[in-house]
Chain A
Amino acid sequence: MEELILLSVWKLQKEAYGLEIRNHLSELSGQDLSVGAVYVPLKRLKKRGYLESWDSEPTEERGGRSKRFFKLTQKGVNALQKVRMVQESAWSDLPDLGFGWVPAKE
C-alpha cells in the first residue's frame, strides 16, 4: 500500500495532495478507498522521511482550510528503488504451474 502511495505521489507531482492521491489510487485499484487507508500511510511515510509535505493557502471551498501537498524525497526514491529491485527478483523465474498465466519475461 505504501509503495502504491509513493508511486502515486511520484506520478501526480504537483497535484499530489490527499484527495487526489486517494482518487488516483481508487481508480487504479478499482476499490473505493477509505480516508484512513490513505492518510495513515501518508503520515507514516512522512515520519519515516520518504515524503515531505507543504501546506497551501487556505481556500474558501475547503471552509478556509489549506491543502497539504506531498513530495517525494531522495530517501523515498531510494526506498522505491530498493523495493523495485526486490520485486523484480521475486517475480523472475517463476515456473508454469498450469494455471494459465505466467509473467512475461522482460
Chain B
Amino acid sequence: MAKTNFIIKLLDRILPPDLHHLIGDLEEEYHITKKEEGVAKARLKFCSQCIRTMPWFILQSINWNTTMFYNYLKVSWRNMKKHMGFSLINVMGLAVSLAVCLLMILFIIDQKSYDQFHEHSGRIVRVTSEIGSSDGIDPVESYAISPITLAERLEEQYPEVEKAVPVNDRFSGSFTHSGLDVQLSGFYSNSNFLSVFDFKLSQGNPETALEEPFSVVLRAESAKKLFGEKGAMGKTFRKVNGREYNVTGIIDDSRKTHMNFEMIGSFSTMAADPDLSRWTESWKNTLWDSWTYVLLQDDNKKADFEEKIQEQISLAYSEDGTSLIKAFTVQPLTNINLSSAKYNENGMVLPGIIVLFLLGFTGIITLIACFNYVSLTVSRALSRSREVGVRKVHGAFRSSVIKQFIIEAVMISLFALVFALFILQWLLPEFNSLSFISLLESEVSRSLFFEPEVLTAFVLFSVLVGLVAGFYPSLYLSSFNPAQVLKGISTAGKISGQTLKKIITVGQFSFSIIFITSSLILFLQFKHLTQTDCGFDEEAVVNVSLNGADYEILRGKLMQDPNVENVASANVVPAMGAIYTMEVSTESHPEVVESQSINVDENYLSTMGIDLVAGRNFNSEMRTDTNKAVIITTELVKGVGIASPADALDQKVKLDGSEKEYRVIGVVNNFISVDPVSSDDPTVLLFAPEKARMAVVKTKPGKTVAFIGGLEDVWESLNSPYSLEYTILDQELRENPSLVIFIDFVKVIGLIAAFSIFISCLGLLGLAIYSAESRIKEIGIRKVLGASVNQLVLTLSKEYIWMISIAVIISIPAGWFINSIWLDYISNKADFGPMIYASGAVIAILLATVTISTQTYRSARSSPIQNLRSE
C-alpha cells in the first residue's frame, strides 16, 4: 500500500487537475482488484499500468506545467506594468543591493582564480613550514617558506615529484642600462619555474633561459622600463655597482598569480656570484625568503607526500636533534590565496577570513534588500487582496497563488539584476580605484564580467534573492480569505507587522544618519589635513636623494645656483610617515618618552623655516655639538616634565637607553614630524650630517621649477652611478599615503551612507503607502468634514514625525560617540563645531519628508467621493 500511495501522491502533484479523475480511476481499480484477487495482483496491475502510461504522464505534466508557468509570467508582467511606479521602486531597491553583493561575489571569484591558468595547476603544490624556536619557547607558527635546498632534495629523493621549483626573492635593487636606472625586484629560480608554471615566454627558450648563471628573464613591462622600445632580448644590463646580467627571455603574461616578480634570475647565479654564495652557505640565511613549489606526478597523493617529506627535517635541517622547523605542510597552489594566512608570504596574498567577512556582508545586504521588498509588497497587500480573492473564487489552489507571487518576485529580481549590472559598471572601477585595493593589487578585472560562469552565478544569485524575498509576501498574500476580502472587510488584525516594520525603519534611519554624519566628518577632517599648517615651511622645498653621493660636495655646487636659498641635510622627509623613533629620558624623568628623531645639519632649521623658541641652532664649529647636542621640540620638553623651554636648555638627555648624555642646546615649536594626523609628536633633532640621506634644498620663491631644470646637470657632475632622484615637498605632502587612505574611507563610508539612506527611504515609502491605503476611508471622511489638504497632510504625517524624531534622538549622540573614538587618535583635528552632528539628521529629515509627502499629498488630494464609494 505504501508504494502505491507514493506513486499516487506523485501523480497528484505533477498531473494537471484535469486528469485527476484518471488517478481516481486507478485507485478504484486497485481497491477492487485487491478485494477480488488479492494485494499482490492489485499492486502488480497498478504498477504495470503506471509504467505503461508513464511517458504519456510525463508529457502531460510537462505540458501542463509549462502552460502554467507561461501564464504566471504573463500575469506577473501585466501586474508589473499596472503598478509601474511601485514595481520600479522595488526593482531599484533590489538593484542597489544586488550591485553591492555582486561586487563582493566578483571579488571572491577573482581572488579564487589566481593561478588557475597554469596547465598543471591541479598537481602543483607548495611546501610550507611550521616554525618555532629550536628550544621550543616561541609558539609554532605557520610560514609559507621552506629551505632553499629543499627543492633539489625533493626532486632527487622522491619519485612522486616530477619537478621541484626553488624560489628566492632577494633578486632586487637598482639596475641600469645605458644610463637609465630602474628599481626592479624579482626572484631567483631555475628552469623548472618556466616548465612547471605556465607564464608565457614571448621570447626566449623556456628550457634554457634560466640555465646559465647571470641569465635573467624579464617581464615585458620591466624590459620596457630598462630598454625602452628597443628589444631587450639578448642584451645585457647591470646592477648598479654590481654585476652584469644577460636577458635570456621575455615574459609577456598578465594573468593573475599570487607571485609578485618583475624578473627572474637564474638560480645558478646564486652559486656563481661570490657575493651571494657566501650568504647561501647556510640554509638558515635564506629560509625567510625562499619558497618551494612542487609538481607532483599524481594529484591524489598529496597527503602521503606530506607525510613522507617530514623526514627531511631530521635529515637535513636539524642541529643536535632539534630544528626550528617543526613540520612541513603541503599546500595546493590554488589554495594559496584566500585560505589561512601564513607568515612570510610570497607576494600579496589575502587571508581567507576576508571571504567570510565579505560573504557575511553580502548576506546582510541581501537580507536588508529582501526585507524592503517584503515591506513594500505587503503594504500593497490591501489593493492586491481583491485580486487574490477573485483568483481563489475561480478555483485557484492556494499553491498556485503562492507560485504566482514568487514568480513575480523572481521577475522583479531579474529586472533588478539588469539594473544592477549597469550600476556595477560604475561601481567596479570606483572599487578598483580605492587605494588600498590597488596597493594590494587586488583589482577585479573587468573581463571577469563576461565569463559565462560569472554571469550564470549572477543570475542564480538574483533568482535566489527573488525566491527569498518573495517567500513571505506570497504566503501572506495568498492567505486571504476570498469571502472576507471581496466584501471589503480589511483584515486589519493580521497586518500587525506594522510595529515591527516601524522599529526597523527607525533603525535604518538612525543607521543612515550616523553614516551620513560620519562621512561628512571624515571629509572635513580630510580637507583639514591637506591644508594643515605643518609647523615648517613646505613651500619651495626640494628633497634630493643622495644615494651615497657626498653631501658637502653637492651642497657646495647647489649653493652656487642663484635659485637656491639654502641647503640642509636630513635623513628623512618629515610628515611622510618615515619613522625613526628614539626613547628619550632624563635624570629627573627616567621613564622614556617615545620621540621621533631626525638627523640634520646646522642649516636645517633655517632651510625648513622652523623657529627656535629658546637656545641656539647647531654650530658646526663647535665640536661638542657634533655628537653631544640635541634640539628638541616643546612637546618633548613637556614630555620629560620640564616646565618651560627655557628651563630645558642645558639639560642632559639620554637616548635609547645608552648611557651617553646629550645636551639640549635649543628648543623649537612642534612641527609635524611623521604624519599630518598628529601635530604634536615629541621630536629630537640630532646633529649628524654624516648620516644624511638627502639634501633639503630651499629655493627662492617661484624659482623651484627653474632650479629643477638645472638640477640634472648638477647631478651629472657628481658622477653618481645612480640617476637623479628628487621630490618636491609640498607635492609629496599632498600625495601622502595616509591621506590617500583617508580618501578611501570617505568613499566607502559615503557610499554606505548613500546606500543606507536610499534603503531607509524605500522602507519609509512602504510604510507610507500602506498607511495611505488603509486610511483611505478616514481621509475621505475628514475631507467631507471640511479638512484642507494641508491639514490632512499634517494629520497623516504625524506618525512619521514621531518615528524620525526617535531616529534623530538615537543617532545624534551615537554618531558623536562613534566618531569621537577615532577622532581621539588624531591630535590634528579639524574644527567641527557641534552643528556637524545635526547635519546628518537634517539631510535625513529632508529626504524622509520628501518621501512621505509624495504619499500624503496624493492621498490628501484624492477624491473623497471615490474613496467612500468603493465597493
Residues of A in contact with B (beta carbons under 8 Å apart): 17-19, 22-23, 34-36, 39-40, 55, 59, 61-63, 65-68
Which residues of chain B are within 8 angstroms of A36 by Cβ–Cβ distance? 52-53, 56
A35 & B49 in contact (Cβ 8 Å cutoff): yes
Contacting residue for A19 out of B19, B29, B52, B53, CB 8 A? B29
Among the stretches B20-28, B110-118, B308-316, the one at the interface with A is B20-28
Q: Are A35 and B22 also in contact (CB < 8 A) when A40-B56, A61-B28, A62-B27 are? A: yes
8 Å CB interface, B18-59 against A: 19-29, 31, 49, 52-53, 56
Would you mind naming 11 contact pairs between A and B with Cβ atoms under 8 Å apart? A22-B25, A35-B26, A35-B49, A39-B19, A39-B22, A55-B21, A62-B24, A62-B25, A62-B27, A62-B28, A65-B23
B56 & A63 in contact (Cβ 8 Å cutoff): no
Q: Are A63 and B52 also in contact (CB < 8 A) when A18-B21, A18-B22, A39-B22 are? A: no
Which residues of chain A are within 8 angstroms of B28 by Cβ–Cβ distance? 19, 61-62
Bound Cα distance A65, B21 (Å): 6
Q: Does B287 contact A (CB under 8 A)?
A: no
Q: Does B749 contact A (CB under 8 A)?
A: no
| Closest beta carbon of chain B to A13's beta carbon, Å | 18
Bound Cα distance A40, B60 (Å): 11
Bound Cα distance A59, B25 (Å): 11
Q: Are A66 and B24 also in contact (CB < 8 A) when A19-B29, A36-B56, A40-B56 are? A: yes
8 Å CB interface, B45-80 against A: 49, 52-53, 56
B25 & A17 in contact (Cβ 8 Å cutoff): yes
Bound Cα distance A17, B31 (Å): 16
List of 5 A-B pairs having minimum Cβ-Cβ separation, nearest first: A65-B24, A62-B24, A68-B21, A19-B25, A18-B25
A63 & B49 in contact (Cβ 8 Å cutoff): no
CB-defined interface of B219-251 with A at 8 Å, one 1/0 digit per residue? Answer: 000000000000000000000000000000000
Bound Cα distance A63, B53 (Å): 20
B22 & A63 in contact (Cβ 8 Å cutoff): no
Contacting residue for B53 out of A35, A59, A62, A65, CB 8 A? A35
Which of A19, A61, A65 has the largest number of chain B CB atoms within 10 A? A65
Find the A residue at minimum CB distance from B55.
A36
| Closest beta carbon of chain B to A57's beta carbon, Å | 12
Q: Does B740 contact A (CB under 8 A)?
A: no
* Additional A-B contacts beyond A18-B22, A59-B24, A63-B24 (18; CB < 8 A): A18-B21, A19-B28, A35-B26, A35-B49, A35-B53, A36-B52, A36-B53, A39-B22, A55-B21, A61-B28, A62-B27, A62-B28, A63-B8, A65-B23, A65-B27, A66-B21, A67-B21, A68-B21
Residues of B in contact with A (beta carbons under 8 Å apart): 8, 19-29, 31, 49, 52-53, 56
Q: Is chain B's binding surface mostly helix, strand, loop or mixed?
A: helix
Contacting residue for A67 out of B24, B49, B53, CB 8 A? B24
| Closest beta carbon of chain B to A53's beta carbon, Å | 9
Find the B residue at minimum CB distance from A58.
B24
| Closest beta carbon of chain A to B588's beta carbon, Å | 99
Which residues of chain B are within 8 angstroms of A66 by Cβ–Cβ distance? 20-21, 24
B49 & A65 in contact (Cβ 8 Å cutoff): no
| Closest beta carbon of chain B to A106's beta carbon, Å | 38
Bound Cα distance A35, B29 (Å): 11
Bound Cα distance A39, B19 (Å): 9
B29 & A34 in contact (Cβ 8 Å cutoff): no
Which of B8, B19, B25, B56 has the largest number of chain A CB atoms within 10 A? B25
Find the A residue at minimum CB distance from B9.
A63
Bound Cα distance A81, B8 (Å): 39
Which residues of chain B are within 8 angstroms of A55 by Cβ–Cβ distance? 21
Which of A23, A35, A55, A62 has the largest number of chain B CB atoms within 10 A? A35
Which of B27, B28, B53 has the largest number of chain A CB atoms within 10 A? B28
Find the B residue at minimum CB distance from A64.
B24
Which residues of chain A are within 8 angstroms of B22 by Cβ–Cβ distance? 18, 35, 39
Find the A residue at minimum CB distance from B12.
A63
| Closest beta carbon of chain B to A36's beta carbon, Å | 5
B21 & A34 in contact (Cβ 8 Å cutoff): no
Find the A residue at minimum CB distance from B31.
A61
| Closest beta carbon of chain B to A5's beta carbon, Å | 14
Bound Cα distance A61, B28 (Å): 7
Which residues of chain A are within 8 angstroms of B20 by Cβ–Cβ distance? 65-66
| Closest beta carbon of chain A to B212's beta carbon, Å | 80
Bound Cα distance A64, B19 (Å): 14
| Closest beta carbon of chain A to B640's beta carbon, Å | 94
Which of A55, A59, A66, A68 has the largest number of chain B CB atoms within 10 A? A68
| Closest beta carbon of chain A to B340's beta carbon, Å | 57
Bound Cα distance A61, B35 (Å): 13
Bound Cα distance A62, B31 (Å): 9
Bound Cα distance A40, B18 (Å): 12
Bound Cα distance A34, B47 (Å): 11
Which residues of chain B are within 8 angstroms of A34 by Cβ–Cβ distance? 49, 52-53
Which residues of chain B are within 8 angstroms of A59 by Cβ–Cβ distance? 24
| Closest beta carbon of chain A to B561's beta carbon, Å | 104
Bound Cα distance A88, B561 (Å): 129
Bound Cα distance A59, B31 (Å): 13
Bound Cα distance A18, B22 (Å): 7
